[in-house]
Amino acid sequence: MAGITVATLLTGVATASAQNILLALFGGLGAPPPPVPDANFTARDRQQLANPPYRQAWIAPAYRRQIVHYHRKEAPGTILVDTDARYVYYVLPEGKAIRYGAIVGEDAQAWSGVATVGRKEEWPGWTPTENEKRRLGPLPNYVEGGAANPMGSRALYLYSGGQDTLYRIHGTNQPGWIGHAVSSGCIRLTNEDVIDLYSRVKNGAIVVVLGPKGGARSTSASAL
C-alpha cells in the first residue's frame, strides 16, 4: 500500500515538503485533463477531490477506465486483479468487464489467491502495519481519512476463511504511479476509479488475484 520511498509515502500525510517532492517526480508529465464528474460522488467526495493535496497525474490511455471484452469464466460481480498487467477487472454479464488501471505490489510484497470482500469503507483511516513501519521508517500510528491519506477515497477489505488478509483494494494519493508495481502489496486505483468500483461491488464478492504469468487475456477495449 505504501509508495516507493518514505518521501513519496509522506505525501499522503500532506506535508509541504513531501508535496514538493511529488511535484518534482511528476512535473514532466504535462497538464492532465480535468477529472470527469462522477454520478457516484457524494458531497464529501466532491469536497475532498475538488482541490486534492496532490497533483492530478496524466494517466496513459491504456490504464483509463473502460469496458473490454472478457474471455475468462469468472461470474458477473467478481473482481479480478491481473498483477502482471496492472489491471483490475469488474466482471459484467455477456463477456464484458470494466477494466481499471492499478498500482500493484512490488515483487517481494505481492499477494495472490482468492478472497472475498469482507467489508467496505468510504474515506478510510490508515493504520500502518508493523511491516510497513520496518520497511519505510518512522510512520504515524494512524492517519485520518481524507484526500491526503494514502488509502484514498474508498477501501475494499479482503478476507479469506473469515480472517482479514490485511490486503485491500483502495484509492491513492499518488495517481502518477498507476500502471506500476510499487506498493506494499495492496492494490490501488485512482480515487475516481475506486469510487466507481466501490459503487458496484457487494460485500461477499469474490476477488481473484492472479499471480505472476496468470494474465487475464482481455482484448478489444472500448471506452466507457
End-to-end CA distance of the chain: 27
Helix 43-50 with 191-200: angle, nearest 10 deg: 170
CB 132 within 8 A of CB 109: no
Closest CA to 52 of 35, 33, 65: 35
Largest distance between two CA atoms of the chain: 49
CB 59 within 8 A of CB 32: yes
Alpha-carbon distance 31 to 205, whole Å? Answer: 37
Say which residues have a Cβ less than 8 Å from residue 118's Cβ, sequence separation at least 6. Answer: 157, 158, 159, 164, 203
Decide if 170 is catalytic: yes
Residue in 69, 71, 180, 186 annotated catalytic: 186
Alpha-carbon distance 68 to 10, whole Å? Answer: 35
Q: Where are the alpha helices (DSSP H) in the chain?
A: 6-9, 16-26, 43-50, 130-136, 191-200
Alpha-carbon distance 6 to 168, whole Å? Answer: 20
Decide if 186 is catalytic: yes
Q: Which single residue is written with the C-alpha cell 467496505?
A: 120
Residues designated catalytic: 170, 186
